[in-house]
């Protein structure tokens, strides 16, 4: 069967398309150590595994960004806890950011 031609717009991703993702079942302790070491180095856990294996790491440093998903119920609860009369997702985002900065300040 002949190999399909990859569209021009995906040529730069050709290597990634051919890569295979591999998952490992390890103990919680090993997983935590790898994640912690990666976090301290500012790289992803998968890049840390590549470092451990002596493979090239070509990804860019991780952005200092945290993500979380909020359901409609979460937004309702957060709006109430922040004393808001209506759900304003942008204001809630700012209030959550403030809480994260407060958390950081308490740890210092």
The reported pLDDT for the residue numbered 49 is 93
The reported pLDDT for the residue numbered 19 is 72
C-alpha triplet 27, 30, 36: angle, nearest 5°: 135
Model confidence pTM above 0.85: no
Q: What is the mean pLDDT of residues 3-13?
A: 68
CA dist., res. 44 & res. 57, Å (int): 10
Could you read off the pLDDT of 32-80 as tens digits, one per residue? 999 999 989 988 888 999 999 999 988 776 666 788 999 999 999 999 9
CA dist., res. 25 & res. 43, Å (int): 20
CA dist., res. 4 & res. 17, Å (int): 13
Which of 78, 107, 74 has its CA nearest to residue 95? Answer: 78
The reported pLDDT for the residue numbered 89 is 95
CA dist., res. 33 & res. 102, Å (int): 26
Residue boundaries of the structural domains of the chain: 21-60, 72-107
The reported pLDDT for the residue numbered 14 is 60
């Amino acid at each position: 069967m002949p190999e399909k031609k990859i569209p021009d717009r995906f040529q730069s991703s050709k290597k990634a398309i051919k890569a295979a993702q591999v998952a490992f079942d390890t103990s919680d302790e090993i997983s935590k150590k790898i994640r912690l070491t990666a976090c301290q180095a500012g790289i992803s856990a998968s890049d840390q595994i590549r470092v451990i294996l002596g493979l090239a790491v070509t990804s860019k440093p991780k952005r200092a960004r945290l993500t979380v998903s909020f359901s409609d119920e979460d937004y309702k609860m957060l709006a109430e806890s922040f004393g808001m009369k209506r759900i304003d997702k942008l204001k809630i985002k700012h209030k959550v950011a403030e809480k994260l900065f407060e958390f950081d300040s308490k740890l210092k």
